[in-house]
Structure 1
Amino acid sequence: MQQLPLDGIRVIDYTHFLAGPYLSRCLSALGAEVIKVERPVSGDAGRQHAYFINGQSGYFLQQNMGKKGLSINLKDPRGLELMQKLADSADVFVENYRPGTLDKLGLGYKTLAGRNPGLVYCSVSAYGHTGPDSHRAGFGLIAEAKSGIMQMVGVPEDAPPLLRIALGDMYTGIHGVASVCAALLGRVKSGRGQHIDLALYDCLVSMHEYAIQCYTLSGGQEVPIQTGHDLPQSTLYGVFRAKDGDLVIAAQVDDAWKRLADLLGNPDFAADTRFHSAAGRNKHRLEILPVVRAWTAQRTVGECLAALDAVDVPCAKVQRIDEVLNDPQIIARGMVIEQEHPLVGKVRLPNLPFHFSECDTTQSMPAPLLGQHNREISASLGYSSKDIDTLFAAGVLYAEEAVAKLNL
């Protein structure tokens, strides 16, 4: 087995909630030493986010596994000095505060890069560090609304639904992983780090694989709108209701469509040349959809899937989360991991989708308690035991009560 790809890389994670913590969680899984820096007493706001068990947030546990925890008062000059020394020792610094916030604190890119020219500094924000909206606060929901994605989801004439997954945060976070790794590779050649400026809004706009080119290439004539349960530009591709649940069918390519038409037993579909091309099926989709809906409505989901699988038409049940967790494919791929947490006991959480042939990126170390690794991290920067005790007594370093019990 090889070492993990980022073994030996030190990352400072000064982020909260989701995009930043997810980014640094991925870097940790890839082998980096990630130090999670939090404010005293309250810590990352994600610690107050449901679901809770024994006072611990599952939200925080999921996005911060594999990290070491440092809780420090950065408003105290001694705390800021410790943080700057920590950044001097780091390869990567990740933050997701509103642009300009960390400059005022003495932790902006120019300040830290002036001390450590090799530092890769990754900023995640709602709108980025340039442009007329750069000063505005925002969350994934804001980016989803602004990007045009939300407007295309849901049933016509109804308000768009919430997506129920943090698309903007997670997509931006994984772009951060790619950018940081690229910048680290670039540093090998140049010897210098750089500032990465990532915006949730930018990332979601870049995600449009169809809508933007559809609009621009049509001269502004085509504006994608809500279509409900199918895609008018990809017939047949959508959600269909069966007797006991819902399923999706993806028969938009010619060969799959022909197999579906034969399965439906509708001789007109198989013979009518109007349906032999994607353009023809799209044009006449309102003739096709009722026939497919009637076919699924007469059968259970299992019966539909069995029939579709038998003729190699891509399909799947619309699964609940309990069904996902018990899916043999998810189990075989190791996409749910079990960890032992000192306060909670055994916890099961989603794994990351990295599968390397020569190393295992599954994280066994749970998320840190608040301030759990204060002493270890401070000592690595040259602070003596007496120095560390002084910082604790002055409130510069903070650890929740449970940390002391761990060290008994």
Structure 2
Amino acid sequence: MSQSSHPSAQPLPLAGLRVIDYSHFLAGPYVGRCLAALGAEVIKVERPGSGDAGRQHAHVLDDQQSGYFLQLNMGKQGVSVNMRDPRGKDFMQKLCDSADVFIENYRPGALDRLGLGYAELAARNPRLVYCSISAYGHTGPDAHRAGFGLIAEAKSGIMQMIGTPGEAPPLLRISLGDMYTGIHAVAAINAALLGRVTSGKGQHIDMALYDCLVSMHEYAVQCYTLSGGTVLPEQTGHDMPTSTLYGVFRAADGDLVLAAQVDDAWKRFAALIEQHGGPAGFGSDTRFHTSGGRNAAREEILAAVKPWVAARTVAEVLALMDAIDVPAAKVQRIDEVINDPQIRARGMVMEQEHPRYGTLRLPNLPFRFSGCDTTVHQVAPDLGQHNADVAARLGFSADEIAAMQADGVLFSKQALTSSRQGPT
């Protein structure tokens, strides 16, 4: 559904704001994508030549785009600027002077050397909201260290809590640190923009992957601190010893999860198990009627539930759980997720028409507003695709733009291809 056809259509929340996305890979580009979906004009700035390193990340389509880049940079305009040329620096300074938000995710200090640090840009544009994303943040003994989401996931204690006891923790296989930090950055940027309404000034937002993942602990930190340092999370494999029954179980034809950890749900669940071939008295055993009792008898409970689930198909177990209103779900593959009627109904796999690749199916963002539609229909830009358009809006003359394009100050794959082909 387009914005214009949305019931009671309103302008997108960030319409009229300009965002400079001077970031690469994942966390920063994800922030830019979210702000574009919310209505901001987002201008993606890339280095000449190869551009954002994310262009070569899976799934690679050609030398200009990858699925990774297409997903994270939809809705943006694209420019590619040679900052080593004074004209390139002048272009970037004018662009940043016109901006409301600047996003970067380089190591602290890296952009200062290019004249794109917060102090220099804010001196020229005091209303600028400048968001930095890094592994450790801009303060502290590790601020100078490089890092990726994997580093933060290991350092944060999250990785140590998952997996099978006695084995090395598994790789998470989703970029939890980058995406969680990214959406926190979106929230912080919007808060800073709201604060600017009354203060008239922007500010520097310093987001760290490590900080965000430590903040994500809903129980591990407080269990340790409030117990005087005696309670540490341990690897438990497929369930949670402090929340019985809550975990992953193997059925005859696949895996599923069960969440019968709440007292009322447990009683319904245990009674059903007994009625359908489980141990006699399982449903009426009052030892299991409290959380503490279930946790103390965890191994006994698992010994009854695991074979009961294993003797049935996933569909059979899910039907029985639905009948008694106990939350349960199949552990789905990605192909099943994409074709899930709920995901289809929510529009969480969106379609875009690309001039080179045809119909693209990519993950949508989870924003849902009653008055406007945040679905992005504009595909991710080619490298330097909007150089001339952006330069013209900044006040550069046609001759200046042509000279910068000819000299590679404003770089584009299209210009490079044309020059190689020669005159026709």
Q: Report the TM-score when normalising by structure 1.
A: 0.98
- Residues 79-118 of structure 1, C-alpha deviation per residue, up to 9 Å, x if partnerless? 0111011000000000000000111111000000000000
Correspondence for 2:218:
209
Q: What is the deviation of 1:273?
A: 2.0
Correspondence for 1:345:
358
Correspondence for 1:8:
16
- Aligned partners of 1:175 and 1:214: how far apart in 2? 24
Code of the aligned partner of 1:78? R
Aligned equivalent of 1:300, options 306, 313, 328: 313
CA contact (8 A) 1:29 1:363 kept: yes
- Aligned partners of 2:231 and 2:214: how far apart in 1? 17
Q: CA RMSD in A?
A: 1.1
Rate the CA distance shift 1:281–1:162 in 2: closer, same or farther, 3 A: same
- Residues 287-341 of structure 1, C-alpha deviation per residue, up to 9 Å, x if partnerless? 1011110111000000010011111110000000000000000000000111111
The aligned runs of 1:8-407 (5 Å cut-off) are: 8-55=16-63, 56-265=65-274, 266-401=279-414
- Residues 6-29 of structure 1, C-alpha deviation per residue, up to 9 Å, x if partnerless? 000000000000000001100000
- Residues 242-267 of structure 1, C-alpha deviation per residue, up to 9 Å, x if partnerless? 00000000000001100100110144
Residue identity over aligned pairs, in percent, reads 71
Which runs of 5 or more structure 1 residues have no equivalent in the other structure? Answer: none
Rate the CA distance shift 1:403–1:346 in 2: closer, same or farther, 3 A: farther
Please give the secondary structure, in 2, of the residue aligned with 1:268. coil
- Aligned partners of 2:42 and 2:234: how far apart in 1? 42
Q: What is the deviation of 1:270?
A: 2.3
- Aligned partners of 1:54 and 1:81: how far apart in 2? 32
Q: What is the deviation of 1:271?
A: 2.2
CA contact (8 A) 2:271 2:284 kept: no
- Aligned partners of 1:122 and 1:29: how far apart in 2? 18
Q: What is the deviation of 1:346?
A: 1.2
Please give the secondary structure, in 2, of the residue aligned with 1:113. helix
Code of the aligned partner of 2:159? M
Code of the aligned partner of 2:245? L
- Aligned partners of 2:194 and 2:311: how far apart in 1? 57
CA contact (8 A) 2:309 2:317 kept: yes
- Aligned partners of 1:152 and 1:192: how far apart in 2? 42
CA contact (8 A) 1:369 1:403 kept: no
- Residues 117-148 of structure 1, C-alpha deviation per residue, up to 9 Å, x if partnerless? 00000000000000000000000000000000
- Aligned partners of 2:32 and 2:324: how far apart in 1? 44
Q: What is the deviation of 1:272?
A: 2.1
Code of the aligned partner of 2:130? Y
Q: What is the deviation of 1:77?
A: 1.4
Q: Report the TM-score when normalising by structure 2.
A: 0.94
- Aligned partners of 2:18 and 2:194: how far apart in 1? 15
Which runs of 5 or more structure 2 residues have no equivalent in the other structure? Answer: 1-8, 419-424
Correspondence for 2:421:
none
Q: What is the deviation of 1:53?
A: 2.3
- Aligned partners of 1:362 and 1:171: how far apart in 2? 21
